[in-house]
Chains A and B, each alone.
Chain A
Amino acid sequence: MLTSKDLMGTGLSSQDFKQKKVLVEKWKANAKYGWDQGIAIGRYLRELKNGKIIGVKCHKCNRTMVPPRIFCEWCFKPIDEWVYLKDTGIVNTFSLCYVAWNMERLKEPLIPAVIEIDGASPGMGIMHLISEVDPKKVARGMKVKAVWKPENERTGAITDIKHWKPVK
């Protein structure tokens, strides 16, 4: 039987570190990458630069998918077709997030969402941010539209879409 007296494990408080009660070593990793975009994501980003969202279609299962991939993961075969999608969609699910990625507190919430893209098969969404909206009014099923960066600021990145905003 597990009893507290046999348990090992030495807990420290943040004070122990601040007051230098324990010795420490630090390291910042030098870990940089240039990930090859490849055929599918390369095209996706090039099209984003053009202000378009592109997906792919598998004729076997008849799914239109986004983000694009060169294979259909369910049929395990190459995809058959590139398909331009609309830059509108509906909110599949969302959150009102008050902390940044590094846990810093935010005053105004970020609104991450899974957005089902019009023109893709039902349920085919991408993760992005919603803005220009009263956070209280965001709801599942809400219709949204991409707000693009000006053409000359687009770089071929998911952030070429600044965010999504509601359409009435």
Chain B
Amino acid sequence: MSDRIAIIGIGATQFRSISPDLSYKELMFEAAVKAYEDAGINPRKDVDVFVTCAEDYIEGTSIFDEYTPDQLGAALRPMHTISQEGLTGLASVYLQLRTGEFGIGVVEAHSKASNMLTPDGIAACALDPIYNRPLNINHHAIAGLEMHRFMYETGITEDQCAKVVIKNRKNALENPFAAYGASLTLKDVNQSECVACPCCELHIAQPADGAVVIVLATEAKAKALSKKPIWIKGIGWINCTPTLESRDWAKATYCEKAAEMAYKMAGIKQPRKEIDFAEVDDTFSYKELQHLAAMKLGCGCEMGKWIDNGVTELNGEFPVNPSGGSLGLGHLYDASGLARVYMAVKQLRREAGKLQVRKANTALVQAWRSLPTTSGAVAILSN
């Protein structure tokens, strides 16, 4: 068994609303080349295990696993797919390295969201085929229902949710990777077209294409290869129920439990004090607040005050999504978690440029698999 695991290389393409010049293989290749150069390794010789995170319906290919090895340098090597969020994929490589059998592992996730011509029709297929799907209701209804109940129970207002959008898209203006940087007003957000009330268009992260590759190593390998290893101090991943009927509708229980798991591993008792900044899921504006509350950074209503008082701004006391989050970067489907890892590592290495937060020693990264799931992961990274 190897005790500590570090991130020694990161690579990502830019995130864009479309990427018509590259196939998904080429997109993955670009991110992989960058990650391997960052880590200073040759995947054909140095990497022991590979993981990619993908879903068939999103790719439009059954057994998409088939098409993953070549562009990552993984042909004829131990490689497998995890049909899960990228951050859970990171956990899977973490576990493999912890067995002590392997020295270096790679996790990849990507999004070719623009290649889905019928994203809502595809998302509908994720609903229970006998109890939910026959109602023929757009899956965003779930976000509307949840947002409404969350606001009802916490007293959070639509304006406070809108402020999350404004903050994240503003941060994204300074992020060269981001597809959706913008300077928005409350009016812009609140008057955008309604999708599933109270969730209107600008409360929803818009899709983006992109790929992210992260290289992990055991302590011995990391120390030999990297000047700035970023340590995985804690990681947790949890599923709650997939049935809409028995899930929680105000609380993000999956996130709460995943955070408990990660905090326990990292020895974190007072997250607010021990963590410097967070990159958390904000595929819907309210989700950022809901997830922060679930991770015990404060109660729900407190998160409303945070956003009002600028606590989570780039220069605030506890920056949240300094990268721009999914609202600013673009929603990368199962690559979202790894994009957040990428951005957090940049911060922890103090390479975040204009987005650099003042104190960046311990980062909280969290991911959710989006509608209709109750599945998510949390990681604590530290320099």
B57 near A31: Cβ-Cβ < 8 Å: yes
Asked if B96 CB lies within 8 Å of chain A CBs, one says: no
B41 to chain A: closest CB distance in Å?
11
Which chain B residues in 56-76 approach chain A with CB under 8 Å?
Answer: 57, 60, 69-71, 73, 75
B14 to chain A: closest CB distance in Å?
15
Enumerate chain B residues within 8 angstroms of A70, measured Cβ to Cβ. 25-26, 29
From the candidates A25, A34, A39, name the one contacting B21 in the complex (CB within 8 A).
A39
Given the contacts A25-B129, A29-B122, A71-B71, A34 and B117 also touching, CB distance less than 8 Å: yes
Q: How many residues of B contact A (CB 8 A)?
A: 34
A76 near B125: Cβ-Cβ < 8 Å: no
Enumerate chain B residues within 8 angstroms of A27, measured Cβ to Cβ. 125, 129, 133-134
B126 to chain A: closest CB distance in Å?
11
Enumerate chain B residues within 8 angstroms of A69, measured Cβ to Cβ. 25, 70
Asked if A30 CB lies within 8 Å of chain B CBs, one says: yes
Asked if B222 CB lies within 8 Å of chain A CBs, one says: no
Asked if A35 CB lies within 8 Å of chain B CBs, one says: yes
- When C-beta atoms are compared, the residue in chain A nearest to B122 turns out to be A31
A40 near B121: Cβ-Cβ < 8 Å: no
Q: For the complex, give the distance between the alpha carbons of A122 and B122 in Å.
A: 41
A35 near B24: Cβ-Cβ < 8 Å: yes
Q: For the complex, give the distance between the alpha carbons of A39 and B253 in Å.
A: 44
A73 to chain B: closest CB distance in Å?
4
Chain A contact residues, majority secondary structure:
mixed
Q: For the complex, give the distance between the alpha carbons of A65 and B214 in Å.
A: 29
Asked if B353 CB lies within 8 Å of chain A CBs, one says: no
Enumerate chain B residues within 8 angstroms of A41, measured Cβ to Cβ. 23
Given the contacts A30-B121, A71-B70, A39 and B23 also touching, CB distance less than 8 Å: yes
A61 to chain B: closest CB distance in Å?
11
Given the contacts A38-B25, A73-B69, A32 and B118 also touching, CB distance less than 8 Å: yes
Q: How many residues of A contact B (CB 8 A)?
A: 23
Q: For the complex, give the distance between the alpha carbons of A75 and B201 in Å.
A: 45
B134 near A25: Cβ-Cβ < 8 Å: yes
Which chain A residues in 56-105 approach chain B with CB under 8 Å?
Answer: 69-71, 73-76
Given the contacts A25-B134, A33-B116, A39 and B26 also touching, CB distance less than 8 Å: yes
Residue among B26, B57, B75, B112 having the largest count of chain A Cβ atoms under 10 Å: B26
Enumerate chain B residues within 8 angstroms of A38, measured Cβ to Cβ. 21-26
Asked if B43 CB lies within 8 Å of chain A CBs, one says: yes
Q: For the complex, give the distance between the alpha carbons of A29 and B75 in Å.
A: 33
B26 near A40: Cβ-Cβ < 8 Å: yes
Enumerate chain A residues within 8 angstroms of B43, measured Cβ to Cβ. 76
Asked if B124 CB lies within 8 Å of chain A CBs, one says: yes
B70 near A33: Cβ-Cβ < 8 Å: no
Asked if B42 CB lies within 8 Å of chain A CBs, one says: yes
Which chain B residues in 27-86 approach chain A with CB under 8 Å?
Answer: 29, 36, 42-44, 57, 60, 69-71, 73, 75
Asked if A37 CB lies within 8 Å of chain B CBs, one says: yes
Asked if A153 CB lies within 8 Å of chain B CBs, one says: no
B119 to chain A: closest CB distance in Å?
10
B40 to chain A: closest CB distance in Å?
14
Asked if B19 CB lies within 8 Å of chain A CBs, one says: yes
Q: For the complex, give the distance between the alpha carbons of A128 and B118 in Å.
A: 30
The 30 listed contacts between A and B (C-beta, < 8 Å) are A25-B130, A25-B134, A27-B134, A29-B57, A29-B125, A31-B57, A31-B116, A31-B125, A33-B60, A33-B116, A34-B115, A35-B23, A35-B115, A36-B20, A36-B23, A36-B24, A38-B22, A38-B23, A38-B26, A40-B23, A40-B25, A40-B26, A42-B23, A69-B70, A70-B25, A71-B70, A73-B69, A73-B71, A73-B75, A74-B75
Which 6 A/B pairs are nearest by Cβ-Cβ distance? A38-B23, A30-B121, A73-B70, A33-B60, A76-B73, A32-B117
Question: Other CB < 8 Å A-B pairs besides A29-B121, A33-B116, A42-B23, 5 of them?
Answer: A25-B129, A29-B125, A31-B57, A31-B125, A70-B25
